[in-house]
Amino acid sequence: MKVVGHFINGETCTPKGRMQDVHNPATGQAEKLVLLASSQTVNDAVISAQSAFPEWRNTPVSKRARIMFAFKNLLEAHSEEIIALIGAEHGKISHDAAGELQRGIENVEFACAAPQLLKGEHSKNVGPGIDSWSEFQPLGVVAGITPFNFPAMVPLWMFPLALVCGNTFVLKPSERDPSCAIFLAKLLKEAGLPDGVFNVVNGDKEAVDSLLDNERVKAISFVGSTPIAEYIYTRANAAGKRCQALGGAKNHAIVMPDADVDNAVNQLLGAAFGSSGERCMALSVVVAVGNEVADRLVDKLQTAMLGLKVGAFDEASNDFGPVITAQHKDKVEGYITSAEQQGAQIVVDGRQISVAGYEDGFFVGATLIDHVLPQMSSYQAEIFGPVLQVIRVESMQDAMQLIDDHEYGNGTCIFTRDGEAARFFSDNIQVGMVGINVPLPVPVSYHSFGGWKRSLFGDLHAYGPDGVRFYTKRKTITQRWPSSGVREGVSFSFPS
C-alpha cells in the first residue's frame, strides 16, 4: 500500500515509525497509509527550517514574491491532480474541490503583493534631523496545523503569506487527508523555493505537541475544532509563542418574513449541504422569524432536497459526497437521532442511505429537522454533516439573541429585503463574518478570515492584512546623523 511520508529539507522521506490508514470515504476502504511523525522527525523538520531561515530572510522580497508567482502558475497547471487528491482522501465533489483550490490560489495571489505589503511606515523629521520608520521583520520558523476539511485551501491561507514575509515553515496537515500537502511542497520546490524553507510533517497529537514544545518554533497558526484550538492556544502561549487558533462553528441564517424565500432556499441548499456540511462556514441552522415564513421555507426546502444527488467525487453531477470517516458518519447520525428523541421533527431523513456502487462509503443524506429547540444537543453542538435544523422564533430580536447566546461566532447571514433590518443586524450581531443575502460570507483574500467568541482564540484573523501582521514583528528605528559642527547637549528628560 502507498505510504504518505513527510517533506523535509526539499525531499520526501519515509522514516520508520507509527502509521495510520487513510480511507477513501466514498469506497470506505483504506487505500493508503500515512506516517505519524515522531518528535525526532518534527525536530528534523524544524532544524531544516531554522537552517534555511537566515538566507531566506535576507532574500529580496521581490524574489520571494516571484517564487510565489511561479507557485501560483504551477497550482493552476496541476489543478486536476490536486482536485483528484482532495477527492480521493476527503471525498468532496470535484467542482467543490475546484472551488476550494481557487480560493486557496487567491491567497497565493495576495502573497505575491509582498513587496507592497511589507513597505513599512516612514516619518521624516520627527525631531530636528531625526527620521523614524517601522519595518516588519519575519519571526523565524512558524508552524501551521490544519484540519481535514480543506486540505488545500487552509494550508494556502497560511504558508504563502508566511513565506513571502521571510519566515520558514513547518506544516502539519490533517492525518486524514495528508497527500495534498506533500504535493504542494513539491510544487513549491519546482517554483524555486530553496530547500528547507517549507517542510511538511504528517502526524497526530505527538507531532502537534512536538511543535508546541519546540522552542525554535516562534508562532503557530491552527485551524480545527474548538477544544483543540483552545488547547493549542493555551499551550503555545504558555511557551511564549505567538498563536492564532481558529475553531469550530454553528452558523445561523435568519430568514425574515419579507425574504425572497425561493432565493433563500436555493442559497441554503448549497450552504448547508455543500461539502456534506463539513465546512466551518456551513449554514447549519435556519432561524425563521414567524411561523408563516417557517412553513413556506420548510415546505420548499423539503421539495428541493428531493433533487439532491449524493455520491462519489468524480461524478460532477453529484451535489455532495461522503463524510470523512465511519466514526464521523455515526456521530452525525447520532445527532439526528438525538434531535428526534428530544422532540424535533425529522422532515427529510438522511440516515441509512445507500449509494449504488459505493455501499461501504461513509454517506449521510441531506437531512432537514424542524421545530428544533435551543436546549437540544443537536443545536448546541457543531454536527459538521449535511444536517439543516430549523428554529422558529417570533421576532428578529429573538433570532439575534439566539445567535449571540451560542458559544460559537464564526459566520451568520440574514435573508431580508429590509435594508434597515440588515444594517442593524450586521452592526450588532456578535459574529465575526456576516452575510446579507449572502449565505457563505467567506472573506476574499485581501480581507481577513476569523470568527468571534469560541470560534477563534487570538487577536489576529487568518490571511489578508491580519496575516501580514501575524507573520511579522514590528521594529521601529529612530535615526539621527549629526552634521559636523552641530552638537547638542545631554538631555535627561524623556524624548518628546
Contact residues: ligand NAD, CB under 6 A: 145-150, 154, 172, 174-175, 204-205, 208, 223-225, 228, 246-249, 280, 382, 384, 410, 451, 455
Helix (H) or strand (E) holding 465: helix 464-470
Residue nearest to ligand NAD (CB): 224
Judged by CB, which is closer to ligand NAD: 166, or 439?
A: 439
User: Nearest approach, Cβ of 22 to ligand NAD (angstroms)?
Assistant: 13
- Strand intervals (E) in 279-363: 283-289, 345-348
What is the C-alpha separation between 294 and 286, in angstroms, rounded?
9
Check: CB of residue 441 under 8 Å from CB of residue 434. yes
- Smallest gap from Cβ 491 to ligand NAD, in A, equals 50
Nearer to ligand NAD, 221 or 416 (CB): 221
> Looking at the DSSP assignment, which residues form a beta bridge with residue 320?
310
* Residue among 144 and 166 whose Cβ is closer to ligand NAD: 144
Is 165 known to be catalytic?
Answer: no
Q: How far is the CB of 241 from ligand NAD (least distance, A)?
A: 15
Quick check: 247 and 454 in contact, CB under 8 A?
Answer: yes
Beta strands in 251-354 (DSSP E): 251-255, 283-289, 345-348
- With b for 16 or more beta-carbon neighbours within 10 A and e for fewer, the 225-236 pattern comes to bbebbebbbebb
Cα–Cα distance between 165 and 178 in angstroms, integer?
25
For residue 29, give the C-alpha cell: 476502504
127 burial level (CB within 10 Å; 0-12, 13-18, 19+) = exposed
CB of 288 to ligand NAD, least distance (A): 24
Task: Of 111, 34, 35, give the one whose Cα is nearest residue 68.
Answer: 111
Ranges assigned E (strand) in 146-282 = 168-172, 198-200, 217-223, 242-246, 251-255
Q: 136 vs 148, which CB is nearer to ligand NAD?
A: 148
Task: Dihedral sign for Cα 446, 447, 451, 452, please.
Answer: positive
CB of 151 to ligand NAD, least distance (A): 10
Nearer CB in complex with ligand NAD: 45/348: 45
Shortest distance in whole angstroms from residue 373 CB to ligand NAD: 23
Supply the minimum distance, in Å, between the C-beta of residue 456 and ligand NAD: 7
Residue closer to ligand NAD by CB (options 218, 454) is 454
Smallest gap from Cβ 297 to ligand NAD, in A, equals: 25
Out of 112, 180, 243, 280, which one is annotated catalytic?
Answer: 280
Spatial separation of the C-alpha atoms in residues 187 and 190, rounded to whole Å: 5
Torsion on CA atoms 336, 340, 346, 351, rounded to nearest 10 = 40
Give the H/E segment covering residue 207: helix 205-213
CA distances from 245 to 38, 45, 130, 186, 202 (A): 23, 22, 40, 27, 19
Q: Which is nearer to ligand NAD, 75 or 245 (CB)?
A: 245
Q: Residue for cell digits 462519489?
A: 312
CA distances from 451 to 231, 333, 407, 423 (A): 17, 27, 11, 19
The percent of the chain in helix, strand and coil, each rounded to the nearest 5, is 40, 25, 35
Closer residue to ligand NAD (CB): 204 or 260: 204
- Positions marked active-site: 280
